[in-house]
Amino acid sequence: MAVWHYTGLQSAISILQNGCFWVSHSQYLNDPSETLYGLEIILSVLQDKTDKINKQSPTGPDSLNSAFDTILSSTLDLFRWHKSKESGKRSILTMLGLDSFILSFTRHDNSSHMWNYSTSDSIALSFDFAPNTNQDDYNYCFVCLCESCTNPSAYSGKIQKSNNRIPLLDVYGSSLQEVIYDAKDSKVRIQERLVSYVESEYPDLVRNLGEKRALDQMLSKALEKEFDSEAFLISMLRESAFHKNSAWNSEAEERLVFYDIEPIHVDFRTSGEKIIPYLKVGVGKYDKKNKVVTGNNFKKYLLECITEIKIGPSPYQDFHANSIKKLLEKLGHNIPITLSNTPFRRW
């Protein structure tokens, strides 16, 4: 399924010419509650589950107190403390190793809201990250294109490299994920993640339970065994980036979230009065059989994923379209260019 990335003229030219996205740290996006909103819902669900399990087991099994309940309670306390400190709201995510970089797309192909949200003259790029051939031996993947990766001689011995020196980036869920804006839907999805975690970590337990998929029973049974509560909590908190306040629902967003980024891969840019950490992210090909990133023509791979370029509302639409056409001719690619017919004006 194609998704759209709305951006300004200069950024669109940069994406086309350089074959990479500049992906900002979540702390510097426009929503000040980014990741924190989802974190609150997740911790609320976990707290409700813990309370329910403890009520079902009045004697309170030691495994609950020593593993899940202890780390959950301490994390809740830590979260509440950080939330009360204006300057430290996001420290909990950093302390848990959950710093994230977010690349946003939308399902809307010609949205007045998105055009208004972008800069005065904007372009929307349509992407389809599924391979465009009948071959099933590779997938498109996302790779780091920072200087330390593309010019490794300057950083000898400081980073681990794949066979072609370009590391595969850790994407949550390995693909685009839909953002959820309704709190009830968020709780349902979080419970589904809980079930998935227990199913993957305790397959024998799930088989023994047969068709009965009661989450509380599975979680309670799992906690009676040896349980890595910290790994469990981190796994759940990574979900936080996919839940946002309903005020943002008109964006219909799908996003890629990158975790576990070593400091050497992070670049910095300025925007207004802010210094923003970001990643240079390109598209690569992942050999599924050999489990490696293959090839090095990352600019070509990103252009292969673009299915359409839409020029936003502007008195200069024809000029922009003609210039983009010439740029694509220079790059050796033929991508359909269309003009937005949205009746929107701000000039």
**Average pLDDT of adjacent 10-residue blocks, the chain of 347 residues:** 91 94 90 85 79 61 47 57 50 62 93 79 91 67 82 42 49 76 93 78 66 57 61 75 92 88 88 90 81 75 94 93 97 95 81
| 280/14 Cα distance (integer angstroms) | 11
pTM beyond 0.75: the answer is yes
pLDDT given for residue 228 in this prediction: 64
Give the per-residue pLDDT at 67. 46
Three-state SS for the chain is CCEEEEEEHHHHHHHHHHCCEEEEEHHHCCCCCCCHHHHHHHHHHHHHHHHHHHHHCCCCCHHHHHHHHHHHHHHHHHHHHHHCCHHHCCHHHHHCCCCCEEEEEECCCCCHHHHHHCCCCEEEEEECCCCCCCCCCEEEEEEECCHHHHCHHHHCCCCCCCCCCCCECEEHHHCCEECECCHHHHHHHHHHHHHHHHHHHCHHHHHHHCCCCCHHHHHHHHHCCCCCHHHHHHHHHHHHHHECCHHHHHHCEEEEEEECCCHHHCEEEEECCEEEEEEEEEEEEEECCCCEEECCCHHHHHHHHEEEEEECCCCCHHHHHHHHHHHHHHHCCCCCEEECCCCCCCC
Q: How far apart are CA 38 and CA 206, in angstroms?
A: 27
Query: What count of other Cβ atoms lies within 10 Å of the Cβ of residue 200?
Result: 10
pLDDT of residue 225: 61
Q: What pLDDT, on the 0 to 100 scale, is given for residue 207?
A: 66
pLDDT of residue 211: 45
